[in-house]
């Protein structure tokens, strides 16, 4: 039974018959999909239509628009070093606004819905504020609400620690809530909706010729997420890999197949280079003139790890007069804590200077087939050189090459590398046209 209201198909009455046999789907809607009350209404219409089509739905939502950034900005004005517990208490409010508004919008369409906070939905985490890991899912309340025929709306990004404290899962953490719920509920699908219709060969906001990838392996997607492609949070992809959940990344605003993130065997090709990712929020620190003896690097990086600060690139210079420099990068939002820690360790070790500077970005080329092809790195450096971009630091792995750059040249660098490897081409042949781009670029380098 359904009726059209406000352009939406609206189911009538609580719960549809045959609940257990209907597909169970977890859908996550991000901030960009919920920016205004109008957006919330559109999402509600979409959900009501899906329910009318016979699906049982658990919906995970983020804070509206830039709400999380705005909360962080208010806090920065009052206390940039606020206790992490208070930061989590504040940030969790963003998602709570969204769940209540979306549930209310669904009721307005006649669709029975219930909003649940992370802790009500059974998201149990460790004690690490701002970057909590999910320790267990106890979704009994979610199951009860589903059985009662309601659409269950869960606040993403938040959980409860063993001490009864509210924690948050790191930026973009609602993606992880969605995948963890899909795994715990044994859902048929986990759909992540945002303002893009899938995962592209580069951020489509930066590279107009970027191409949608139809299927991508967990490994490549993890690397992309780790290197800055914010379309999915890395921990969500890890959680999907471990629990064998296929993620479908789709657009809230248009219909289309999106991108399937799934296991390696199903990937369409093993191209040399697959995508370019970038991260605009990188800070660089250096301890200059520290003694060249065993244990120095350990002292520094153990102190940073103790503060739960993720260190990315590391370079240690050659020793001169028994001293050397250690430079490393962290996310810009970690700079205040990283600087404090580095200065403490620097004093202890008698460092000649401690440098800390924001204003960097990182551009990375990713592809599972890169490990065995030395021309790829040369091709990337040639593309950057041709674009007049200076490289500040380099790091490589089997599956990626990353370059640290000044933040203002990130867009230029992303486009140059994407073009050099012809990543925007339709239906490229595995390892042929893209390799050609790399080889010719190498020839110039
Ligand atoms: P949401 O608010 O729904 O969580 P996000 O802003 O976190 O959405 O993620 C979607 C954004 O990710 C897109 O607007 C796009 O600019 C960006 N993005 C970065 N890299 C990629 C990529 N490779 N493919 C698709 N989107 C990307
Ligand atoms: N609202 C949080 C953030 O902006 C979580 C999320 O969007 O997934 O990072
Ligand atoms: Mg996101």
Q: Which atom, in ligand 2's list, is nearest to the CA of 69?
A: 4
Domains of the chain: 2-195 (3.40.1160.10), 284-359 (3.30.2130.10), 361-440 (3.30.70.260)
Closest CA to ligand 1's atom 27: 203
Closest CA to ligand 1's atom 15: 203
Q: Which atom, in ligand 2's list, is nearest to the CA of 157?
A: 5
Residues comprising the chain, all counted:
445
172 lines ligand 1 (CB under 6 A): yes
Angle at the Cα of 295 from the Cα atoms of 294 and 297, rounded to 5 degrees: 105
Closest CA to ligand 2's atom 6: 172
Handedness of CA 372, 376, 381, 382 (dihedral sign): positive
User: How are beta strands 134-137 and 123-125 bridged, if at all?
Assistant: antiparallel
Query: Which DSSP symbol is given to 200?
Result: B
Of the listed ligands, the closest to the CA of 30 is: 1
Residues of the chain scoring pLDDT < 70? 1-21, 264-271, 372, 426-445
Of the listed ligands, the closest to the CA of 39 is: 1
379 lines ligand 2 (CB under 6 A): no
57 Cβ contact partners less than 8 Å away, ≥ 6 residues apart: 24, 25, 26, 27, 47, 50, 51, 151, 152
Closest CA to ligand 2's atom 5: 172
User: Could you tell me the distance, in angstroms and rounded to a whole number, from the CA of residue 266 to the centre of ligand 1?
Assistant: 23
pTM: 0.87
Q: How far is CA 237 from the centre of its chain?
A: 9
Q: Which atom, in ligand 1's list, is nearest to the CA of 275?
A: 23
Ion ligand 3: residues, CB within 5 A, are 30, 172
What angle, 0 to 180 degrees and rounded to 10, lies between the N-to-C axes of helices 234-243 and 174-185? 10
227 lines ligand 1 (CB under 6 A): no
Q: What is the DSSP string of 358-376?
A: EEEEEEEEE-TT-TT-THH
Largest CA distance in the chain: 82
pLDDT confidence of residue 263? 87
Question: Cα(225)–Cα(241) distance, rounded to whole angstroms?
Answer: 14
Of 61, 60, 193, 192, nearest in space to 139 by CA: 60
């Amino acid at each position: 039974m359904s009726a059209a209201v406000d352009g939406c198909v609206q189911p009538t009455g609580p719960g549809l018959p045959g609940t257990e046999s209907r597909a169970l789907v977890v859908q996550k809607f991000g901030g960009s999909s919920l920016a205004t009350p109008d957006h919330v209404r559109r999402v509600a219409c979409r959900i009501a239509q899906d329910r009318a089509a016979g699906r049982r739905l658990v919906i995970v939502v983020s804070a509206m628009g830039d709400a999380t950034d705005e909360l962080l900005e208010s806090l920065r004005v009052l206390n940039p070093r606020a206790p992490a517990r208070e930061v989590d208490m504040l940030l969790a409010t963003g998602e709570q606004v969204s769940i209540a508004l979306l549930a209310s919008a669904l009721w307005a369409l006649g669709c029975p819905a219930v909003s649940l906070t992370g802790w009500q939905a059974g998201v149990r985490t460790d004690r690490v504020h701002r970057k909590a890991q999910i320790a267990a899912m106890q979704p009994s309340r979610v199951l009860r609400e589903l059985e009662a025929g309601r659409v269950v709306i869960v606040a993403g990004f938040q959980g409860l620690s063993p001490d009864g404290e509210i924690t948050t899962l790191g930026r973009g953490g609602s993606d992880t809530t969605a995948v963890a719920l899909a795994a715990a509920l044994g859902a048929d699908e986990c759909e992540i909706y945002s303002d893009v219709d899938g995962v592209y060969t580069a951020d489509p906001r930066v590279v107009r010729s970027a191409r949608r990838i139809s299927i991508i392996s967990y490994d490549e997607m993890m690397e992309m997420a780790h290197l800055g492609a914010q379309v999915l949070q890395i921990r969500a992809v890890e959680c999907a890999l471990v629990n064998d959940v296929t993620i479908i990344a789709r657009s809230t605003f248009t219909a289309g197949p999106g991108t399937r993130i799934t296991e390696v065997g199903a990937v369409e090709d093993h191209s040399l280079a697959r995508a370019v990712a970038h991260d605009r929020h990188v800070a660089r620190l250096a301890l200059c003139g520290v003694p060249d003896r065993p244990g120095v690097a350990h002292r520094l990086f153990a102190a940073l790890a103790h503060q739960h600060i993720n260190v990315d690139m590391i370079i240690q210079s050659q020793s001169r007069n028994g001293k050397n420099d250690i430079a490393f990068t962290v996310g810009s939002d970690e700079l205040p804590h990283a600087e404090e820690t580095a200065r403490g360790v620097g004093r202890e070790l008698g460092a000649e200077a401690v440098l800390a500077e924001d204003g960097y970005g990182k551009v990375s080329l990713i592809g599972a087939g890169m490990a065995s092809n030395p021309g790829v790195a040369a091709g990337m450096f040639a593309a950057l050189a041709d674009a007049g971009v200076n490289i500040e630091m380099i790091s490589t792995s089997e599956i990626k090459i990353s370059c640290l750059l000044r933040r203002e040249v990130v867009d230029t660098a992303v486009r140059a590398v994407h073009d050099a490897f012809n990543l925007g081409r339709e239906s490229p042949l595995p390892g042929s046209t893209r390799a050609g781009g790399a080889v010719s670029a190498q020839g110039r380098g």
